[in-house]
């Protein structure tokens, strides 16, 4: 990761991303878990950013441990701040009382005890003493690993942190999407900043870069620049890297459906397991058709909402 996700960008990240339908992404994740009959007790979220999905993971009632990891300490601090604010204001958090020890939060209500840890680490090289039943990552964060060795190393760390019947679920921008992003520039006007956004695509390198120049509406603060780089990979490459890392079974979906993902799908969801039979165990054509139809309708409704 180059010069990106610095302190000020972490402050305005949620405002810049305010139209991202995280709730809908969470519904899809929930359906993937239901499809595979998975009720995780522990989850690790890689590249968790400012915790937009992490806070939704709390809704998974089977969980008693959530660990959120991100390379940017600015993003992870913002994530912890957001949780703390929600807990203090008792916002959507089922009357949890809590205690805190630096970046660990111990939540408790009548039904549950839940520990949430935030950690600033590189997802290309991490280790946890206790394994997780579920490892997730969202919003093309793995495309930020622009070197194939980084991706391999990330998958190896994930494999050694996952329980045998656990699931590793992540999304990626497909190769087709990265290659066909339209080069353009526009301005996002926030209440406290202006953000000049420029998309640059290097088709040969399968690389998409976003140059951001952010100017706070405060004459005392200077403008600053960030560069975000994402690389597109062929599905076959991802499958090979997962296999080399020890994953024995992988399903690839066209995002927000249960149809097979292709290199020209927009966004892909991968579900991987260390156990060869784990993904087959609970599959059934009818169940798949049901979840596919349900999520396609959901997708249509969410898209219409954004059109009008
Ligand atoms: C597009 S944001 C997505 C954040 C979050 N998943 C969300 O859905 O809002 C990409 C995130 O990846 C993180 N990131 C990039 N490279 C990373 C790395 N090597 N290790 C851990 N996090 C990384 C960035 O700091 C940033 O928070």
Query: Does residue 271 form part of some domain?
Result: yes
How high is the pLDDT of residue 283? 61
Extract the tokens encoding 152.
Answer: 């391999």
| pLDDT tens digits, 46-73 | 999 999 999 999 999 999 999 999 999 9
Asked, for residue 1, whether it belongs to a domain, the answer is no
For residue 17, report the phi and psi dihedrals to the nearest 5 degrees: -100, 20
Is residue 248 assigned to a domain? yes
Contact at 8 Å (CB) between 36 and 282? yes
Q: 27 and 158: one domain?
A: yes
Residue 233 has pLDDT above 80, yes or no: yes
Who's near 116: CB < 8 A, 6+ residues apart? 54, 58, 65, 66, 67, 68, 83, 104, 105, 107
Task: Decide: 68 in ligand 1 pocket, CB within 6 A.
Answer: no
For residue 174, pLDDT beyond 60: yes
Q: To the nearest whole percent, how much of the chain has pLDDT over 90?
A: 83
**Of 17, 71, 141, which is best to mutate to test ligand 1, by the most ligand atoms within 8 angstroms of its C-beta?**
141
Among 230, 255, 273, which residue terminates a domain?
230
Measure 157 CA to ligand 1 centroid, in angstroms. Answer: 16
Q: Does ligand 1 have an atom closer than 6 angstroms to the CB of 138?
A: yes
CATH of the domain at 216: 2.20.25.110
d(CA 212, CA 224): 8
Q: Does 2 fall in a domain?
A: no
The total of structural domains in the chain comes to 2
- Per the prediction, the chain carries an average pLDDT of 93
* Whether the Cβ atoms of residue 46 and residue 69 lie closer than 8 Å to each other: yes
- Which position has the higher pLDDT, 286 or 240? 240
Write out the residue range of the structural domain in which residue 183 sits.
Answer: 178-230
Q: Give residue-wise pLDDT tens across range 134-164.
A: 999 999 999 999 999 999 999 999 999 999 9
Q: Residue 284's beta-bridge partner residues?
A: none
Measure 296 CA to ligand 1 centroid, in angstroms.
27
């Amino acid at each position: 990761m180059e010069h990106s996700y610095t302190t000020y960008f972490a402050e305005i990240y949620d405002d810049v991303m305010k139209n991202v339908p995280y709730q809908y992404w969470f519904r899809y994740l929930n359906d993937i878990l239901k499809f595979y009959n998975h009720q995780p007790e522990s989850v690790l979220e890689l590249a968790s950013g400012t915790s937009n999905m992490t806070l939704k993971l709390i809704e998974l009632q089977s969980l008693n441990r959530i660990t959120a990891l991100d390379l940017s300490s600015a993003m992870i601090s913002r994530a912890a701040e957001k949780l703390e604010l929600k807990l203090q204001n008792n916002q959507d958090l089922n009357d949890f009382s809590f205690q805190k020890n630096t970046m660990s939060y111990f939540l408790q209500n009548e039904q549950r005890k839940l520990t949430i840890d935030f950690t600033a680490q590189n997802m290309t090289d991490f280790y946890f003493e206790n394994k997780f039943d579920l490892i997730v990552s969202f919003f093309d964060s793995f495309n930020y690993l622009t070197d194939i060795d980084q991706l391999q190393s990330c998958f190896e760390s994930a494999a050694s942190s996952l329980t045998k019947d656990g699931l590793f679920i992540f999304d990626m921008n497909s190769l087709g999407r990265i290659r066909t992003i339209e080069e353009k520039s526009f301005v996002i006007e926030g209440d406290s900043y202006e953000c000049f956004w420029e998309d640059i695509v290097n088709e040969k390198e399968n690389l998409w870069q976003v140059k951001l120049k952010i100017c706070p509406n405060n004459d005392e603060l200077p403008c600053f620049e960030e560069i975000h780089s994402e690389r597109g990979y062929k599905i076959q490459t991802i499958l090979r890297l997962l296999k080399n890392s020890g994953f024995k079974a992988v399903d690839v979906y066209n995002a927000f459906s249960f149809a097979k993902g292709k290199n020209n799908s927009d966004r892909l969801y991968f579900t991987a397991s260390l156990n060869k039979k784990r993904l087959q165990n609970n599959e059934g054509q009818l169940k798949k058709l049901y979840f596919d139809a349900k999520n396609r309708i959901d997708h249509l409704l969410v898209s219409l909402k954004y059109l009008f």
